[in-house]
Amino acid sequence: MSQHVAEITHRSVSVPGGRIHVAEQGSGPLVLLVHGFPESWYSWRHQLPALAQAGYRAVALDVRGYGRSSKPAAEDGYRMLALVEDNVALVHALGEESAAIIGHDWGSNIAATSALLHPEAFRAVGLLSVPYAPPGGPRPTDVFAQMGGDEEFYVSYFQEPGRAEAEMEPDVRGWLAGLYAALSGETMPGPDAPDPHFVSPGATLRDRFPSGRLPSWLTEEDLEVYAGEFERTGMTGALNRYRNMDRDWEDLAGFNGAPIKQPSLFIGGSLDASTTWMADAINAYPATLPGLVSSRLLEGCGHWVQQERPDEVNQLLTEWLRGLPIA
């Protein structure tokens, strides 16, 4: 479908949990785009016009705690159930009954849980970078504490209030540049280098980030957008997602092992640790995602799939969306 589409528009939408900032483009069936850490609506800048051109109403939000959305003071204000309810309320506030939902990184988990808990509101789910693994298993913090031996897994590092903030906030721009490079296919450390997902005793996560050049998908202007948002908001709202993983484990216990039955899509990067560490989750898709339409790994791609490979991702997304029943 080829049509003229208006430019991206921005507004804040009231939901019971506060206000959610959205960037919107196009008209047609609603597609909700949910970002991950440490990003914002801007991580979908390549998808908004492509989806709009294809005949969809594409809406990218700032997740609670990010950008121009509300930032509750309480740590438990960032539990998964609250983020899911934000998404349901947002669909209704936008005047729709249902939407296709697509998420990346933490947004993939948020999108998956939204679809799992509210199939009436989310008729299809697209997952980028982080595979779907049903709720259940051991307590998350116990699992993370056992990873890495003498080194500390980054999730455990993020879970201690104030600790990661002390590393990131004195130089948000430099920290973000390092992380984006560390997890990008073209700039990530080699297989023999120390893994940037772990922290050595007495060190910081940033000690293992590459420096000196940005990945080609990230311009100086793009970096300024991301850095400007986190310099204004601080990092705590974003990091509080990691600090609720045990709460989520308890909240979702009634859904342990539950599959997502709606039409689904997965796109990952072949060099992304999320897809290699969670290979068993991908292999389990026939049981956990019985409505799976397509699962693709992009060769040589890192973690930031929709920014590293926008043309390929846009094609995969639009082909998948076109095959869905019209809402």
Task: Please provide the size of the chain in residues.
Answer: 327
Indicate the SS3 state at residue 244.
Answer: helix
Task: Check if 62 is active-site.
Answer: no
Cα–Cα dist 325/137, whole Å: 34
What is the DSSP annotation of 140-177?
HHHHHHTSSTTSEEHHHHHHSTTHHHHHHGGGHHHHHH
Cα–Cα dist 308/208, whole Å: 21
**CA torsion through residues 61, 62, 64, 70, sign:** negative
Cα–Cα dist 16/77, whole Å: 12
Token pair, residue 250, equals: 């308890």
Cα–Cα dist 57/25, whole Å: 6
The amino acid present at 186, given as its one-letter code, is E
H/E element, 106: helix 106-117
Task: Check if 105 is active-site.
Answer: yes
Catalytic residue among 105, 248, 251, 272: 105
Contact indicator for 31, 100 with CB cutoff of 8 Å:
yes
User: Which candidate, 252, 261, 37, 31, places its Cα nearest to that of 129?
Assistant: 37
The amino acid present at 34, given as its one-letter code, is V
Using the structure block, give the residue that is written with the tokens 């509300």. Answer: 70
Catalytic residue among 35, 104, 197, 303: 303
The CA angle 291-293-297, to the nearest 5 degrees, is 125
Cα–Cα dist 205/181, whole Å: 13
Catalytic residues: 105, 303
